Amino acid sequence: MSFTDPIGDMIARIRNGQMRSYVKIEMPASSFKGKILEILKREGFILNYSLDQTNEKKTKFSINLKYNSGSPVINNIERISKPGRRFYSSAQSIPIIQNGLGIAIISTSKGIMTDTEARKAKVGGEIICKVF
């Protein structure tokens, strides 16, 4: 099964899982998704994730979603750069999400990083999504 936008699919699965109050969701794995999930885990938006082998060639991520007093920790997760319209930003014009309470995940020449890390490294790139 091929996706035209696998990152958009990942974001939709996380959003839908939290709307239904699921503890764990699963999705097909890729290294790019793994780097995004690592940032979400490091910033405290998800509890944990693991890479599971379904058969000899297929792998999937199992993601443990995080809740605070019954409500999801992620209030809003939104795809910014889409396959039909890419959104790039220089280091000086990277947006600040919710006055610094949220993060933007950016694909730079130095790897996938948050907006604050990109500003410190003085690199711009493609804004993948924003999380609040």
Residues of the chain with CATH 3.30.1490.10: 77-131
Q: For residue 70, which phi and psi values (nearest 5 degrees)?
A: 85, -10
CA 8 – CA 125 distance, rounded (Å): 18
Strands 77-79 and 125-131, sheet pairing: antiparallel
**Class of the domain covering 6-72:** alpha beta
Residues of the chain with CATH 3.30.1370.30: 6-72
12's CB contacts (< 8 A; 6+ apart) are none
Fold of 77-131: Dna Ligase; domain 1 (3.30.1490)
Partners of 24 in the β-ladder? 64
How do the pLDDT tens digits run along the chain, 132 residues long? 457 899 999 999 999 999 999 999 999 999 999 999 999 999 999 999 999 988 878 899 999 999 999 999 999 999 999 999 999 999 999 999 999 999 999 999 999 999 999 999 999 999 999 999
